[in-house]
A and B are shown apart, each in its own frame.
Chain A
Amino acid sequence: MTFYDGHHGQIETLTEQFELFSNLCLGRNYICRKSINESLSMSALMTNIWNPQLSKGNA
């Protein structure tokens, strides 16, 4: 992350965006999953899943 420091609003937006992406893929929606995977790979998500700096509480 390049701007997490003190950017509470952006982290919140990012969290909402991830929430939207996850809800778009819900119920095995393969079309949405395919296009979201192009910009956000599964390995990147798995690496960052434990990143505490990406949570709303720590922003």
Chain B
Amino acid sequence: MSLLHFLHDENSDSINLNLLNHAIYSRQKILKEQGFIKRFVDILDACFPTVESLRRLRILEESGIKKRGPKLFKVGRRTLWQDFQAKYEIENIRGGKNISKQRNQVKILAYLSQICSLIFEVLKSIARDNHQNEEECFNYIEIFKKQSGYELGATACIISIIEKNEKLLLNLCKHSEADKQENLSLTEEIKMFEMLQEDSTIHHFVREFKSASPSYHRDILKFLSAACKFEDQGITVNQTLIHSLVIQDQVVRNNTLLKIHCGPDNKITIEVPEFNQAVRPYSIIRIVLFILVITRKKRYSACKRQ
């Protein structure tokens, strides 16, 4: 990940991603001019081109390779491939059995997700405090939106791109194609605007809200917060849209936000959402199944000995 070292002029062996500040402007410019942003987005799209391919990332969580929570925070000088080879030994796919093929697929999936996470980190660094690069990255927001919610860092990347750019913040409530329509009458324009508005980035994240995992849920809240303000000033268009979509709509509000109750003594009470309670029975079933498998194995080995 020498690009991160290059952007931040770091000479140390490893970089702490949480402590990265300003990237060097001229180097950001060089990377943009050399077409790195487009290439990175192409790689992102090639790694996970469809929603189905992204859904396979859930296998990683089930197999325990990728655990929930903060992932990348330190990047070393060794290449990702070297790290990957050291961590997982890839078996020969051609001659292997089905089980080893599946195992390989999981490992490759882990590798691809690691690549995407690092690309999002590099894109954040390329765009940080550089309006031109932020706008260039914003052109590919549809791909970032598609990849958000799979713990690749796409939502954090979107937030980083938009939060310091008023022009982009004002674009969040409309679809990117809305500006490109020409020669339309006023009524057609209004209709087109209303139709396209439902495809806006804010609409997208509000739709994702309902089925989001707890960590993605927090990311969406962070995105909506970032969409509401620019340098301690409110962005009224976005505030009004988020208000009408999330706060005013009782169904969305009940399904997405923590229910807060204020008692007469000003004590705040919060209802625990269902997805946290639903974890327990599932894990109990898994434990029972695990015990059953072990006891069966023991019986089988005892029978064999006799």
A residues neighboring B (CB under 8 Å): 1-3, 7, 9-10, 12-14, 16-17, 19-20, 23-29, 31-32, 35-36, 39-41, 43-44, 46-48, 54
Query: A16-B218, A16-B222, A36-B247 are known contacts. Are A3 and B270 too (CB-CB below 8 A)?
Result: yes
CA A9 to CA B221, docked complex, whole Å: 13
Question: Is A13 within 8 A of B221, CB to CB?
Answer: yes
Question: Would you call B236 an interface residue if the criterion is a C-beta within 8 Å of the partner chain's C-beta atoms?
Answer: yes
Chain A residues touching B, majority SS: helix
Question: Is B258 within 8 A of A14, CB to CB?
Answer: yes
Enumerate chain A residues within 8 angstroms of B257, measured Cβ to Cβ: 17
Question: Is B276 within 8 A of A10, CB to CB?
Answer: yes
Question: Is B262 within 8 A of A19, CB to CB?
Answer: no
Query: A1-B269, A9-B276, A26-B232 are known contacts. Are A17 and B221 too (CB-CB below 8 A)?
Result: yes
A23 to B, closest residue via Cβ: B228
CA A19 to CA B248, docked complex, whole Å: 18
Sort chain B's interface into a size bin: 20 to 34
- Chain B nearest Cβ from A6, distance in angstroms: 12
B residues neighboring A (CB under 8 Å): 214-215, 217-218, 221-222, 224-225, 228-229, 232-234, 236, 239-240, 242-243, 247-248, 257-258, 260-262, 266-270, 272-273, 276
Enumerate chain B residues within 8 angstroms of A2, measured Cβ to Cβ: 269-270
Question: Is B243 within 8 A of A43, CB to CB?
Answer: no
Enumerate chain B residues within 8 angstroms of A3, measured Cβ to Cβ: 270, 272
Enumerate chain A residues within 8 angstroms of B276, measured Cβ to Cβ: 7, 9-10
Contact check: which of A1, A20, A48 meets B266 at CB < 8 Å? Answer: A48
Question: Is A35 within 8 A of B218, CB to CB?
Answer: no
Question: Is A19 within 8 A of B270, CB to CB?
Answer: no
Pairs A–B under 8 Å by Cβ, sample size 26: A1-B268, A1-B269, A2-B270, A7-B272, A9-B215, A12-B218, A13-B258, A14-B258, A14-B270, A16-B222, A20-B224, A20-B242, A23-B229, A23-B234, A24-B228, A24-B234, A24-B243, A26-B228, A26-B233, A27-B233, A29-B236, A29-B239, A32-B243, A39-B261, A44-B262, A44-B266
